[in-house]
Structure 1
């Protein structure tokens, strides 16, 4: 079991955290089991043949005749409320052991990921419990908000799965442990690189380009120290592979060929090819949103024609806070750390802002992947949500037909970013913004429903708005995707409308 393996390694590399890790395990088990129960309750898993909802409970009938019972699920809950489920009379408290007992196709590999996620989550919580008071009060720098997001993805059972990372590497590189990371610089001849935008002079050495490389990538994939041409001292952000340099320069997105949550975090050649054009187009989009949305520009992108050796330089979101005003820029995933979502009135105001911007962008022709990591909010000194900041344009969707209807130029790109499919466009925005960012910020179906109800009157009356208000809410079937290794791309399920 990963839990025991992490405990053993922790005893060697950071014995002072051993007690906190042991204390964090029960809560981590419940957190991962709660996420798995959400999937079992709502995703179209082929071996779940019936769901029977009782008063405060749910019972699943499985294809082999087994019966699985647990509490009534809340698809938007962000607190762990499932500490045990019962399969044919036997109680399970660990997601990995439950998945193994279910004996479904591809379940063994997924059980190993769940085991890793639970142990890594307990390690993350132990690191926070062992912090020496540096989390009191607001952070000194906006990027520090990102390091306060300890539990990872709010709904994915693999919320903290980091296969391939030792305990020492998690402590050294994971943002919640607040390390300082030395990015290596690998020199590559200019003729051997694909470049988008302007690659800065400080990352050049004659005719060679200096590509920032994550130390995990350098050791495990590139098989080099990666520091021969120098280093950049930086702080890891929520995405782990994206870091804020200590000197305050552009954020650096590095290739990291490890599976974190669901995906291998490399940087595709396609994203480098399209980076400059998409970034320039995004400025046109932001101009149409009347100051309510800023989009961080991609300043430069480079690839050695390989997803394993590439990097992207991006504007830091904090540049969109008005200087000298006390404004702060906080990722939506970190809003719980501010305490603001505890107010229903504040949550309603935030929902009006986020939905108004997201639906207007969609009407114009751009579906943002506005989950809690990509979407940030500019807060006034009093905590009022003023405007939004969006970062990472690598997975938006652009509709040429919608752009044309609004007289907007179509960027000179093709490929997966471009589609006129209404279902794809709405899934991209609704699944990330409503079911993801807003749902997790609200923390329950009741709170999300109240916030959406309060926002309805100010939403633009478009076909997209009507679809949001009248149709089931699409959400990625995250567990089905992990149990379907032969099926490429996203898979989806529908949740009932959160509106009361």
Structure 2
């Protein structure tokens, strides 16, 4: 369990010197600016490279920021706006007004922060709320004790969140910090008894019975304390007539993981995925009734798929979700009280292997003294960092083999769409610091390619939720692995080199990755999507800024084209 050591950002020298508010401002600005490059200025041809700087034009304003890391867009210094012939610091509030000009047509005068009516009156508040949340999290972390378990420490390391989201830490609800993984929260669960005649269950949720004992005629149901507060008076009637009984609190504290609503319960050694009826980043995080049904169904169907993947790609692991439990008290409470049982990574990791969240490995966001790089993990240290320094290409090659190739084979070989973004993949690090396993999780994002699987036995809505057509499935796969995931890891590996050598190392990393994908493509007869990928065809990147501006449901958010890191790499 000593493969990776993660630093707490609030204790870092940069954080102490610059102040929490400055770090939060820098992180919030960087996230929104990346979105502007990718979704606004880039598609309009208003982005240029100029030496160490990236220049972009937004609402007739010229902005510059020093960058590295290729597609990951890591900022190595402050962003500035050209004003009256001089470069002046760019603030989050100013950038929000420029975005509103581009997307909503409102005035952007410095002396009129309100401006004209905008098409999205929520947007500025979401960005400001995310910035405020980062400040709160940094302060809370300074006074909290991180988990000793390196896996759980990595789960709680994502202080800044998604690097290409305009408000990555926006979340609703009151008192959320008590349940925030980034604040190193831990809390006992509420234990309920569900009268057996209104029990709802599917698959195999029997692990839940290890949390305690229910009275005769009742079955144990754990509940998230935050969700119990949110449901409030809606629970009064079933408690009053005995359909539910309150059994107190669990004996040990549960630990929230990176998604907020999923916790690790140490007494039974399982992860539990709850509903939380608040918006966290993009979505209200509830277990829809059809997702409860689909989780157990997909777990049964995926067992032979992952068995085959593990044989072809040793080190491939996954976290099954074998069952769920809830109460049949109408759709609202069926979903609100629904809990999905998930295996924990320690159950599937090999001997001597430490599972670490991929997002934590990718957490460093720049070089030099720029405040943004101190956000999540500060740096990767211990044996993983040592392995990176000794053999960055070898470390990267092992990472690509274990993470990317099984994802491609799940799609082409089995018609299964995994969702391998940075928060859904755990990387197993061996005692030498090398990646030797990849653990895939979260069946909500896992889909079956329509036409390759018989889903006629599922309810219509559940079948629709569990499937993608081939094009949508490929877009999701290639976005997650080639835009969201590998570029962040590549930038981290390249950042371990001296600044002058980092760009050259980055090119070597992508050439190596392309060669590995090409060998796999040859094994599969070079299907068209892989031919396009290897040829450098632009990739689909999720348009989070556009989605937040349009207030679209997350499933309806579209894509924008971005440069393929294989483009220009010699075959």
TM-score normalised over the length of structure 2: 0.73
1:95 aligns with 2:110: no
Correspondences of 1:68-467 after superposition (within 5 Å)? 68-71=62-65, 76-77=71-72, 79-81=74-76, 83-86=78-81, 93-100=90-97, 102-103=99-100, 104=104, 105-130=118-143, 139-140=148-149, 142-166=151-175, 169-170=176-177, 172-200=178-206, 201-202=209-210, 204-223=214-233, 228-232=246-250, 233-289=253-309, 290=311, 291-304=314-327, 305-306=331-332, 307-322=335-350, 325-336=351-362, 337=377, 338-339=380-381, 340=384, 342-343=388-389, 344-345=392-393, 346-363=395-412, 364-402=414-452, 412-413=457-458, 414-422=463-471, 424-443=472-491, 446=503, 449-459=507-517, 460-461=520-521, 462-463=526-527, 464-467=529-532
CA distance in 1, matches of 2:204, 2:184: 31
Shift of 1:36: 1.0
SS state at 2:95 partner: helix
The aligned residue for residue 22 of structure 2 is 26
Q: Deviations over 1:212-260 (max 9, x none)?
A: 2222221123346999223232011111111111324211111111111
CA 1:280–1:411 in 2, change beyond 3 Å: closer, same or farther? farther
CA 1:297–1:318 in 2, change beyond 3 Å: closer, same or farther? same
Q: Deviations over 1:475-500 (max 9, x none)?
A: 11111110012566121111101124
CA distance in 1, matches of 2:79, 2:159: 23
CA distance in 2, matches of 1:267, 1:82: 41
Contact 2:41 2:56 in 1 (8 A): no
Stretch deviating more after TM superposition (393-402 or 428-437)? 393-402
Q: Which has the larger radius of gyration?
A: 2
SS state at 1:333 partner: helix
SS state at 2:540 partner: strand
CA distance in 2, matches of 1:82, 1:219: 43
Contact 1:78 1:155 in 2 (8 A): no
Q: Deviations over 1:447-471 (max 9, x none)?
A: 6654332122333113232232232
Q: Deviations over 1:142-174 (max 9, x none)?
A: 3232123332223223222223244xx41x211
Shift of 1:410: 6.4
Contact 1:49 1:60 in 2 (8 A): no
- The answer for unaligned runs of 5 or more in structure 2 is 1-14, 105-117, 240-244, 363-376, 495-502
Q: Higher relative contact order at CA 8 Å, sep ≥6: structure 1 or structure 2?
A: 2
Q: 2:560 aligns with which of 485, 489, 493?
A: 493
CA distance in 2, matches of 1:141, 1:53: 41
TM-score normalised over the length of structure 1: 0.83
CA distance in 2, matches of 1:372, 1:20: 28
Task: Count matched residues.
Answer: 463
- The answer for unaligned runs of 5 or more in structure 1 is 1-18, 404-408
Aligned-residue RMSD, C-alpha: 3.1
